[in-house]
């Protein structure tokens, strides 16, 4: 996934986000901050949950600014985008079809395919397994 943070008064920052590649301390911090098991947190990011996305941005920004507190992470909703890559969409649709998901859900997933960012490596599902 691509997480893009574009603060009104700053340069855009693009992060590659693979929930399976977070450090255990980062995963634990996300669970503690959101009060959710990591799998639920990862789904919350995909579904647009505000707290999950804020907590994720905090973890991503702390990699560059270790002293950054959660309270310092505050943004307008249009300053943060979370996008699945084309490969992630393809894998998610395959899994949905294997599980006989509703075709309307699959269609919804495919709507964003053409505008989705390209993969820079092997695509993985954008949620924790």
Looking at residue 31, its pLDDT comes to 97
Residue 115: name the closest of 89, 96, 94, 97 by CA.
89
Looking at residue 6, its pLDDT comes to 96
pLDDT of 128 > 50? The answer is: no
Looking at residue 41, its pLDDT comes to 93
pLDDT of 26 > 70? The answer is: yes
Looking at residue 58, its pLDDT comes to 97
DSSP 10: S
What is the rounded distance in angstroms from the CA atom of residue 114 to the CA atom of residue 94? 17
Q: What is the pTM of this model?
A: 0.79
pLDDT of 28 > 90? The answer is: yes
pLDDT in tens, 29-73: 999 999 999 989 988 998 899 999 999 999 999 999 999 999 999
**What six digits make up the tokens of 64?**
């560059």
Looking at residue 93, its pLDDT comes to 86
Phi, psi torsion values for 3, nearest 5 degrees: -110, 120
pLDDT in tens, 96-125: 888 888 888 888 878 888 887 787 766 566
**H or E element in which residue 27 lies:** helix 24-34
In angstroms and rounded to an integer, the radius of gyration of the C-alpha atoms of the chain is 15
């Amino acid at each position: 996934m691509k997480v893009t943070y574009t603060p009104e008064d700053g340069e855009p920052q693009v992060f590659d986000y693979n929930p399976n590649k977070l450090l255990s301390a980062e995963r634990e911090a996300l669970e503690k901050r959101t009060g959710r098991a990591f799998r639920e947190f990862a789904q919350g990011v995909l579904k647009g949950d505000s707290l999950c996305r804020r907590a994720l941005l905090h973890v991503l920004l702390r990699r560059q600014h270790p002293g950054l507190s959660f309270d310092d992470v505050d943004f307008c909703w249009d300053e943060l985008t979370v996008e699945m890559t084309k490969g992630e969409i393809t894998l998610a649709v395959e899994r949905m079809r294997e599980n006989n998901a509703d075709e309307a859900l699959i269609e919804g997933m495919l709507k964003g395919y053409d505008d989705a960012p390209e993969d820079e490596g092997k695509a993985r599902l954008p949620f924790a397994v």
